């Protein structure tokens, strides 16, 4: 009996250690090159997501803004923070692009149209990317050591996931809402080649 108790306690301790340690073991963490504040840019500068993360002429998503977008406002310091001064000295003045780490890079076989979801379906950025707009600091980039993709694809704590099941569930909910909802009845069940090219 006593032996069984020790085995059960050992098993529970091992499972608990694995549960707590597995995310640390599978994900490598790296900081972004600049400690960017979405909150400062949204609150003080009045910037909206699309001011920096816009669309190209052909309707494709431009993604993370290039340095010229930042330099148009930050050729000289606008505030007095050490972070902004460091950004200007390290990137703007020498014309060096920051090597941002993408939280939302999809697998190569996935086609995702931002313009269809943002313009046609009128989804808000936060629906897929979480509430980045109110963040005062960029969180570390967590990369799955096995797949090479960001932890955000799988849904990090407190943030929505971007897995196929997440997309399918959103489309099903949108189809259930009908024309008054976000997409329409067409958004429900689609063929594989709509998203996988």
Angle, CA 47 vertex, CA 44 and CA 50 arms, to 5°: 165
33 within domain boundaries = no
The 3-state secondary structure of the chain reads: CHHHHHHHHHHHHHHHHHHHHHHHHHEEEECCCCCCCHHHHHHCCCCCHHHHCCECCCCCECCCCCHHHHHHHHCCCCCCCHHHHHHHHHHHCCCCCCCCCCCCCCCCCECCCHHHHHHHCCCCCHHHHCCHHHCCCCCCEEEECCCCCEHHHHCCCCCCCCCHHHHHHHHHHHHHHHHHCCCCHHHCCCCHHHCEC
169/116 same-domain check: yes
* pTM assigned to the model: 0.73
Residue 188 pLDDT: 54
Low-confidence ranges of the chain (pLDDT < 70): 21-22, 156-158, 176-190
Same domain? For 8 and 46 the reply is no
Residue from 56, 38, 19 nearest 103 by CA? 38
Domain check: are 2 and 50 in the same one? Answer: no
Range of the domain at 54: 38-64+100-194
pLDDT tens-digit readout, 29-85:
999 999 889 998 888 888 888 888 888 877 778 788 889 988 888 888 887 888 888
Looking at residue 99, its pLDDT comes to 93
Residues 44, 126, single domain; the answer is yes
User: How much is the pLDDT for 177?
Assistant: 65
Count the domains in the chain.
Answer: 2
Question: Quick check: is 145 in a domain?
Answer: yes
The answer to whether residue 138 sits within a structural domain is yes
State phi, psi for 191 to the nearest 5 degrees. Answer: -85, 160
């Amino acid at each position: 009996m006593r032996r069984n108790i020790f085995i059960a306690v050992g098993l529970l301790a091992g499972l608990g250690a694995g549960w707590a340690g597995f995310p640390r073991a599978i994900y490598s963490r790296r900081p972004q090159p600049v400690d960017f504040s979405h909150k400062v840019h949204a609150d003080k500068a009045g910037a909206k997501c699309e001011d920096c993360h816009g669309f190209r002429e052909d309707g494709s998503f431009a993604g993370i803004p290039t340095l010229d977008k930042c330099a148009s406002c930050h050729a000289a310091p606008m505030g007095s923070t050490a972070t902004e001064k460091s950004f200007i000295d390290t990137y703007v003045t020498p014309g060096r692009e920051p090597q941002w780490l993408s939280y939302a890079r999809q697998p190569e076989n996935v086609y995702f149209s931002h313009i269809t979801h943002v313009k046609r379906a009128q989804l808000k950025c936060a629906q897929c990317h979480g509430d980045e707009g109110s963040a005062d600091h960029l969180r570390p980039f967590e990369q799955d050591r096995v797949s090479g993709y960001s932890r955000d694809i799988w849904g990090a704590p407190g943030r929505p996931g971007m897995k196929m099941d997440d997309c399918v569930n959103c489309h099903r909910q949108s189809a259930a809402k009908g024309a008054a909802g976000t997409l329409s009845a067409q958004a429900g069940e689609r063929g594989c080649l709509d998203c996988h090219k």
